[in-house]
Each structure stands twice: as structure tokens, then as C-alpha cells.
């Protein structure tokens, strides 16, 4: 069983479109994250949620809107896609209370290409 899963694995779309990436974890974790890995392989946190509540928002454009319907899911919706949004997006989860950094478990990534 996959612990942290993301769909789709690949996403190719035109500039200006709106798209969503889904993430699910079956580990029973309380905290979930979205990271962006750019073309230079630099990995940077975007958001974290704890029990469906936003904890971290790292100055991400408001075209990016995370949504957590329950603590096992954290979806990422992106409006008006731009060329610079092309990257690999990773979802991750960790157990425990917000503020207590623990081991994070990563999904396989979603490779987004904006044309």
C-alpha cells in the first residue's frame, strides 16, 4: 500500500488553465505539506496543514490554493497557470502536533509542465 499518493503523476497543460493535484495519505498523520522542486532541483515548502488547518504559507502566490477536506487529504488547486509554475510538486505528511518537527514521508511527486 502506498503511504502518500499523488495524482496525477504527470500534468501537461496550457498557460492560463486551472488545474488540481490531489494528495492522500493512509498513515493516520495529522500534518500534510506541499513542496515545489524547481528545475534546479531546489525543494521548497509551500504549505502545511495540521488537522485541516493551514499552518505554513510560504509567500506562495494566491493563485495556489490548498484545500484539505479531511486530515488524510490535501489537494492543491492552481489558477491561471504560468510558465514558471512548471516544476515537480511533492506532497508529504508527518505524525504529531504542529510545531514538533518529525520525519516527513513524501509522495512520488507530480510533474507539471506548463506550455
Partner 1 sequence: KQEVTQIPAALSVPEGENLVLNCSFTDSAIYNLQWFRQDPGKGLTSLLLIQSSQREQTSGRLNASLDKSSGRSTLYIAASQPGDSATYLCAVGEGDKLTFGKGITLSVRP
**Interface residues with partner 1 (CB under 8 A)?**
4, 31, 33, 40-45, 48, 50, 55-56, 58, 90, 92, 94, 98-109
Q: Which phi and psi angles does 53 have, rounded to 5°?
A: -110, 140
Minimum CB–partner distance for residue 86 and partner 1 (Å)? 16
CB of 101 to partner 1, least distance (A): 3
List of E strands, the chain: 4-7, 10-13, 19-25, 31-37, 43-50, 53-57, 64-70, 73-78, 87-94, 105-106, 110-114
CB nearer partner 1, residue 82 or residue 102: 102
- Smallest distance from partner 1 to CB 62, Å: 20
Residues 6+ apart with CB under 8 A from 16: 80, 81
* Cell representation of residue 115: 506550455
CB of 16 to partner 1, least distance (A): 28
Is the CB of 14 or the CB of 103 nearer to partner 1? Answer: 103
Query: Nearer Cβ to partner 1, position 85 or 90?
Result: 90
The values of phi and psi at residue 83, to 5°, are: -55, -40
Amino acid at each position: 500500500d502506498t503511504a502518500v499518493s499523488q495524482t496525477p503523476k504527470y500534468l501537461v497543460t496550457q498557460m492560463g488553465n486551472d488545474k488540481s493535484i490531489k494528495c492522500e495519505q493512509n498513515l493516520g498523520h495529522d500534518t500534510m505539506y506541499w513542496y515545489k522542486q524547481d528545475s534546479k532541483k531546489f525543494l521548497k515548502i509551500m504549505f502545511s496543514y495540521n488537522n485541516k488547518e493551514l499552518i505554513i504559507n510560504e509567500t506562495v502566490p494566491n493563485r495556489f490554493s490548498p484545500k484539505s477536506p479531511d486530515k488524510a487529504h490535501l489537494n492543491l488547486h492552481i489558477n491561471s497557470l504560468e510558465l514558471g509554475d512548471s516544476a515537480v510538486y511533492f506532497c508529504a505528511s508527518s505524525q504529531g502536533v504542529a510545531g514538533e518537527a518529525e520525519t516527513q514521508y513524501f509522495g512520488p511527486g507530480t510533474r507539471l509542465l506548463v506550455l
